[in-house]
Amino acid sequence: MKLSIYQTVIEEADLYKRYGKVQRVIGIMIESIGPAANIGEVCYIHSSIKNNRKPVLAEVVGFNNENIILMPYNEVSEIGPGCLVESTGKPLTVKVGRGLIGKVVDSLGTPLDGSPLPKGLTSYLTEQSPPNPMSRPTISEPIQVGVKAIDSLLTVGRGQRIGLFAGSGVGKSTLLGMIARNSKADINVIALIGERGREVNEFIEKDLGPEGLEKSIVVVATSDQPALMRIKGAYTATAISEYFRDLGYNVNLMMDSVTRVAMAQREIGLATGEPPTTKGYTPSVFSVLPKLLERTGTNKNGTITAFYTVLVDGDDMNEPIADTVRGILDGHFVMDRKLAEQGQYPAINTLKSISRVMNQVVSEEQLKLAQEVRTLLAKYEENKDLIQIGAYKRGSDNEIDKAIKYHPQIMTFLKQSIYEKLTFEETVEKLKDVLNGGN
């Protein structure tokens, strides 16, 4: 019985290794005659020069008649017509496990410091399907972020997905570092996509620090890397988060930035012949974003609380990527350049920001306090011009008088130094003190 099984396997085995041949290279695309491969499969391109160079890793991204279109993960060098193309028959996988905690890796899961991967890691597919919506538990408890403005007025639920909307230089990387150090998540997974090479070390050493790195895994794909590596950085970070979520951990995923992921997908789309649509973005961008962002959140085992930064060109909140991402996520925090210019850090505009699950994760007492503070801030902003030019006379309106009285205390409360650390309970107590006239 057993021998017949082995005999069948031997008879059905394909004993030939089939190769394709590079036909042409156009920009960032490589066109090959064969081998048989499906979309998403990884291929090796062997250099025709006999110098023991490692083969170039590439992924099948499309077809042109009978030819396959490949996009390399790394820069193409010494590739010419006739180079052999070998299909692995598998999509991209990365090695994940607890041994990665404290490491900085690239989009393929290789440590950037050149050290070998720890033993005991598991292979995990970078592209996964989002959880079944019926298997997602509802978000019912808050998570400590460690930033007063967020924990008090924009409370985040465990398993929520938040967008940080900001222009360049408003302090979003600093805010991510504060969240990584101060939050109560078990593990942080941080994806730096399209960052300048200089900023990577700065973020790890200054914003994240040793305290944050010891419970974090950092995935880096700098701006000089090919588009495929940048988009795979986002997939790899999300896959690592999913692996730990399935083990029952509460994970924080921080991606800086989802805009650069969209730009990388636009490059791939244009190179494969997609037509540009809204502001030059191809249709695939708007289909890829929901698939990527919906992978995070809750499942029956654990949670991924996700923070995605969105670069807002010219502080325009209605540009295509910002508008699309805002519609997918469970809340958005708007970082205001005017507040940053006034020295108000973190520069979160609480009136323009919203947490869509706050009402279901905080106590009624905190909700009333937060609503009262927002009302006072809104009343002050509404009459700001009159107050500043001295046109408003005190006593004319009790609500405006109250807003003027409490405004300095509220703004002082919302201000927080980079290394100031407060628990969720301490933040709520300080919020009570602000409205009770305390300091």
User: Regarding predicted confidence, which is higher, 421 or 12?
Assistant: 421
CA distance linking residue 173 with residue 101, whole number of Å: 20
297-323 average pLDDT score: 88
For the chain, the farthest-separated pair of C-alpha atoms sits apart, in whole angstroms, at 98
β-bridge partners, 162:
307
- If we measure between CA atoms, which residue out of 316, 328, 374 comes closest to residue 162? 328
**Global pTM value:** 0.91
User: Regarding predicted confidence, which is higher, 419 or 252?
Assistant: 252
CA distance linking residue 15 with residue 287, whole number of Å: 39
Query: Residue 76 — very low, low, confident or very high, per pLDDT cuts 50/70/90?
Result: confident
What percent of the chain is modeled with pLDDT above 70?
97
- If we measure between CA atoms, which residue out of 356, 218, 240, 238 comes closest to residue 288? 238
What is the pairing mode between strands 56-64 and 93-96?
unpaired
231-254 average pLDDT score: 96
1 pLDDT higher than 60? no
User: Regarding predicted confidence, which is higher, 81 or 407?
Assistant: 407
Residue 438 has what pLDDT?
A: 46
Residue 248 has what pLDDT?
A: 94
Residue 277 has what pLDDT?
A: 87
Query: Residue 77 — very low, low, confident or very high, per pLDDT cuts 50/70/90?
Result: confident
Residue 272 has what pLDDT?
A: 84
Residue 51 has what pLDDT?
A: 62
Query: Residue 168 — very low, low, confident or very high, per pLDDT cuts 50/70/90?
Result: confident
293-315 average pLDDT score: 91
218 pLDDT higher than 90? yes
Burial class (CB in 10 A: 0-12, 13-18, 19+), 46: middle
68 pLDDT higher than 60? yes
Q: List phi, psi (to 5°) of 118.
A: -60, 160
Judge whether 128 and 257 are in contact, CB under 8 Å.
no
Residue 437 has what pLDDT?
A: 62
User: Regarding predicted confidence, which is higher, 52 or 362?
Assistant: 362
CA distance linking residue 18 with residue 86, whole number of Å: 7
**C-alpha separations of 428 from 179, 324, 347 in Å:** 17, 33, 20
For residue range 103-156, what is the model confidence (pLDDT) as tens digits?
999 999 999 988 899 898 999 999 999 999 999 999 999 999 999 999 999 999
For residue range 178-204, what is the model confidence (pLDDT) as tens digits?
999 999 899 999 999 998 888 899 899
Write the single-letter amino acid at 433: D
Half-sphere exposure of residue 387, counting CA atoms within 13 Å on the CB side? Answer: 16
439 pLDDT higher than 70? no
Give the number of other Cβ atoms within 10 Å of residue 418's Cβ: 15
